[in-house]
Amino acid sequence: MSYTRPRESGHYIFASSDYVDFTCETVPNNDIDVFLYKLYSKRNNEFWARYHHGSRIINNFQNRKITIHQLTKHEPDDLTPHTTVIAALAGEIWREHYAPIIGAEQVEYMLAKFQSAEHIYADIKENGYTYFIAKCEKHHECNPIIGYCAVAPRDDHLFLSKMYVKSEERGRGISRGFLEEAYALCRWEYGVDKIRLTVNKHNENAIAVYHKMGFETIESAKIDIGGGFYMDDYVMERRMVWPENKED
């Protein structure tokens, strides 16, 4: 885990348990699955040749620039273009992924209630949520966002409300990049040492991914969301020990 500071996304290459400061000349021996960076000019062939996955690295580095951007209530620009695109992506992902789990009717209800552009805008501007969006640039052309994440502070933890990635982009480490940003907020901005989320009990793939990322199931929760619908979820939590608090 890199424990980066907030708003430093893009300066690191994320790996399974560490990060590489892209301004340095060393590469770790462990496998690197995705690159989140802004320093596009670092293309030293000798540098890449020292790494055994060099061909894959060069392809990702030169052709698929993936960056994470933070959206908060302090954003100086109009958020409407962002929230409109996020809502459209939510509709695409939810109709594909959740309809088989909770049914198309509940999907449409929840999209209108929780994932509309207006609701997302209010979350950011009025309800204290921070959104992260992942963007992919291909050959210097900006594509629509490929994933998003939303977090909000609670009394003793950070609540991970949403984290979704387009199906064709999964497995590239984008979710891990989102979590790195959430961990950074926990440590540097809110001073908490745990992060919680809820996940549908039948969403087996997501549950497995969260377990792999260090989350543990702590309880069940069945929440009435109106319209005759319920969210039947597990509550999962990950506790963290920051380096400065780690006992010898």
Nearest to 131 by CA among 95, 62, 171, 82: 82
In a domain, 1, yes or no: no
| Whole-angstrom distance, CA of residue 26 vs CA of residue 137 | 25
pLDDT at 10: 39
Residue 30: how many CA atoms within 13 Å on its side-chain side? 10
pLDDT at 138: 64
pLDDT at 103: 95
In a domain, 26, yes or no: yes
In a domain, 17, yes or no: yes
pLDDT at 142: 52
In a domain, 5, yes or no: no
In a domain, 134, yes or no: yes
In a domain, 6, yes or no: no
C-beta neighbour count of 18 within 10 angstroms = 13
Task: List the CATH number of the domain containing 18.
Answer: 3.40.630.30
Nearest to 198 by CA among 238, 148, 152, 159: 159
Q: Judging by DSSP bridges, how do beta strands 194-200 and 158-165 pair with one another? A: parallel
| Strand stretches in 154-228, DSSP E | 158-165, 194-200, 216-226
In a domain, 3, yes or no: no
pTM to 2 decimal places: 0.74
Taking only the tens of pLDDT, the chain with its 248 residues reads 344 444 444 333 333 333 334 434 343 433 333 333 333 334 444 443 333 333 344 444 444 567 888 999 988 888 999 999 999 999 999 999 999 999 999 999 999 999 999 999 999 999 999 999 988 766 445 557 899 999 999 999 999 999 999 988 887 788 888 888 898 888 888 989 999 999 999 999 899 989 998 999 999 999 999 999 999 999 999 998 876 666 55
In a domain, 232, yes or no: yes
Query: How many structural domains comprise the chain?
Result: 1
Per-residue buried b or exposed e for 218-243, using 16+ beta carbons within 10 Å of the residue's own CB: eeeeeeeeeeebebebbebbbeeeee
Domain that holds residue 25: 11-245
pLDDT at 236: 97
Q: What is the DSSP annotation of 8-58? A: -TTEEEE-SS-EEETTSS---SS-----EES-TT---HHHHHTSTTHHHHH
Whole-number Cα distances in Å, 175 to 2, 168, 170, 224, 230:
14, 13, 8, 28, 26
